[in-house]
Structure 1
């Protein structure tokens, strides 16, 4: 390959790097924007005042979170164990209770997480409290795409389920269920883990990704400057 061909190829590589640089910077800026959005979201959750009713319009559930304090009576006999729920302590269940609100509406309440037994046939025992309870937590819409994996649920209670499906559970319970899941923030049953992940990716993670994109952009910019100076020097040194 001649020097002219080599230099021409080098220029094409420089042109490609120049086009790539704005993309890296844009990705870094986008991550900064996402970090700010998450920061505002966390702050807004902390400042929200709980409601005392279910939302009339589902659009009220901004960012899949709606803080409430609801008075309800829990079904002591019938509850579900949502299977394969992971925590730092291991794999276990989330306890899903059935709440009857003062308005007459029925709601699935996630009471928290507890560890499972090494023997899958042995289910944990949960004492659902009697009487009217003040349930404080956050509402989220149940994903309509989720379906029960089990083709048949075992007789008796509690029943182990693989996912929430309000329509199927409504048919099983013989009661119309609200399309929401209430995740408690104040414990009703001692020993259940209520450390819900509010966000899959916190602002600090986005800032870390932004730093990586900007670092790559800075390295590429430095390489471009060095390469351009080298190219200019070679052209200046080349005899006319």
Structure 2
């Protein structure tokens, strides 16, 4: 009896936790949708947590020497890179890493990186604020960021230390190429995976386990009672 009730209680508690997580992530999804409709920001906010997914229009200059390539980023079944370049904000000391888009990897020479053109001088970028550039499974020790490096993940703190740049703690994903530049990069960025349906599915499984434990307890108790009477 005690074991059965413990299983039922655990199932209910874990089911409630998964339901709560689904509700939290549903709230995040609603905030994403609301921020996408707000007026674009023309200055960088002080923090990314409260402003992630905001549309931004920023003016400044690209720093082409600090272009990095994030590998293991597939697109429509093809292997390739996400190309990122530092961007100095006009009239400020702040620099932000800009995810410019996706480019295919050279199948013959894997260390050869694409060189999509960049605008020269002052330019305007149209993008969306993100807290990071996304993560993939890190294989081995992360390399120290250096100009033109191929990396698995972008560590903004490590990059700021290596480059000496006053980096903002977020990334801007471009929505379109800067005006007058045909860089050939793909920019249909993957939507963040919130896993709402997964949490709901887990909640159903835990609730079902609790229900089965209760039914088992009732059935075995009924049978035990009949046997005692006989």
Is residue 65 from structure 1 mapped to residue 55 from structure 2 by the alignment?
no
Q: Give, in whole Å, the separation in 1 of the partners of 2:66 and 2:131.
A: 22
Q: Give, in whole Å, the separation in 2 of the partners of 1:124 and 1:226.
A: 67
Kept after mapping to 2: 8 A contact 1:28/1:210: yes
Partner of 1:236: 229
Deviation at 1:34, TM superposition (A): 1.4
Q: What TM-score, normalized to structure 1?
A: 0.75
Residue-by-residue CA offset, 1:129-167 (whole Å, 9 max, x unaligned): 344123321231689xx9x833585xxx63323432345
Q: Give, in whole Å, the separation in 2 of the partners of 1:68 and 1:169.
A: 24
Structure 2 vs 1, CA of residues 89 and 103 (structure 1 numbering), >3 Å: closer, same or farther? farther
Q: Secondary structure at the match of 1:123?
A: coil
Q: Secondary structure at the match of 1:220?
A: helix
Q: Give, in whole Å, the separation in 2 of the partners of 1:61 and 1:67.
A: 11
Partner of 2:171: 181
Is residue 37 from structure 1 mapped to residue 24 from structure 2 by the alignment?
yes
Kept after mapping to 2: 8 A contact 1:76/1:129: no
Residue-by-residue CA offset, 1:31-78 (whole Å, 9 max, x unaligned): 12211111111111111224222222x3x623x825141223223454
Q: Give, in whole Å, the separation in 1 of the partners of 2:145 and 2:160.
A: 15
Q: Secondary structure at the match of 1:85?
A: coil
Pick from 106, 110, 119: which aligns with 1:120? 110
The 5-angstrom pairing of residues 212-223 of structure 1 reads: 212-223=205-216
Q: Give, in whole Å, the separation in 2 of the partners of 1:35 and 1:170.
A: 35
Partner of 2:180: none
Is residue 192 from structure 1 mapped to residue 186 from structure 2 by the alignment?
yes
Structure 1: which 5+ runs fail to align?
1-13
Kept after mapping to 2: 8 A contact 1:65/1:139: yes
What root-mean-square deviation, in Å, do the aligned CA atoms of Structure 1 and Structure 2 show? Answer: 3.0
Pick from 84, 87, 93: which aligns with 2:72? 84
Is residue 16 from structure 1 mapped to residue 3 from structure 2 by the alignment?
yes
Q: Secondary structure at the match of 2:60?
A: strand
How many pairs were matched up? 214
Structure 2: which 5+ runs fail to align?
178-182
Deviation at 1:112, TM superposition (A): 2.5
Deviation at 1:114, TM superposition (A): 2.7
Pick from 118, 138, 157: which aligns with 2:129? 138
Q: What TM-score, normalized to structure 2?
A: 0.78
